[in-house]
Amino acid sequence: MNIGEASDRSGLPAKTIRYYEEIGLIRTDRGGNGYRDYGAKDVHKLRFLQRSRGLGFSVEECRQLLALYEDKRRASADVREIASSKLTEIDRKIRELTELKHTLEHLVHACHGNDRPDCPILEELAEGTAA
């Protein structure tokens, strides 16, 4: 199948598929005419990559996961380690976003939002003194 059909079946844009091929995440056969020729296994890998990226795994983590997926002698502990590391990273990001939210809520509450020029939000952005 051509890249358009592989794109339709995998849910990934053709540009992303070309990128994944360029960086060696996937390898496709080329027909006699030089065009990419995708098979069912390729589409399966593309779907695997789409779901992995959707869960927040980086391209390099996806490379590791795909290699583990293809290795039938893998230890599930290796897969779990990658997923646990990602979970720790997500928890850290949630904490950071929660702190940002609280800071912004404080600033919005402190701003009177009237016609006067003084504004705690702008003062914080200029000076970095928020709670």
Interval 26-83: pLDDT, tens: 998 887 888 889 999 999 999 999 999 999 999 999 999 999 999 999 999 999 999 9
Q: How many domains is the chain partitioned into structurally? A: 2
Alpha-carbon gap, residue 30 to 12, rounded angstroms = 20
Do 60 and 11 share a structural domain? yes
pLDDT reported for residue 128: 73
Do 67 and 4 share a structural domain? yes
Domain that holds residue 126: 77-131
- Eight-state DSSP code of residue 29: E
Q: Residue 27 CB: number of other CB atoms within 10 A? A: 9
Residue with tokens 């070309």, as numbered in its chain: 18
- Which of 53, 74, 95 terminates a domain? The answer is 74
pLDDT reported for residue 115: 84
**For the CA atoms of 92, 93, 97, 98, what is the dihedral angle to 10 degrees?**
-30
Do 112 and 54 share a structural domain? no
- Which of 74, 92, 111 terminates a domain? The answer is 74
Do 100 and 62 share a structural domain? no
Do 117 and 82 share a structural domain? yes
| Residue 34, Ramachandran bin (φ over 0: left; ψ between -120 and 50: alpha; else beta) | left
> Does the pTM exceed 0.95?
no
C-beta of residue 69 within 8 angstroms of C-beta of residue 48: yes
Do 111 and 70 share a structural domain? no
Do 128 and 84 share a structural domain? yes
**Which CATH number goes with the domain that contains 30?**
1.10.1660.10
**For the segment 57-67, what is each residue's pLDDT rounded down to a tens digit?**
999 999 999 99
Q: Which positions ≥6 away from 88 have C-beta within 8 Å? A: none
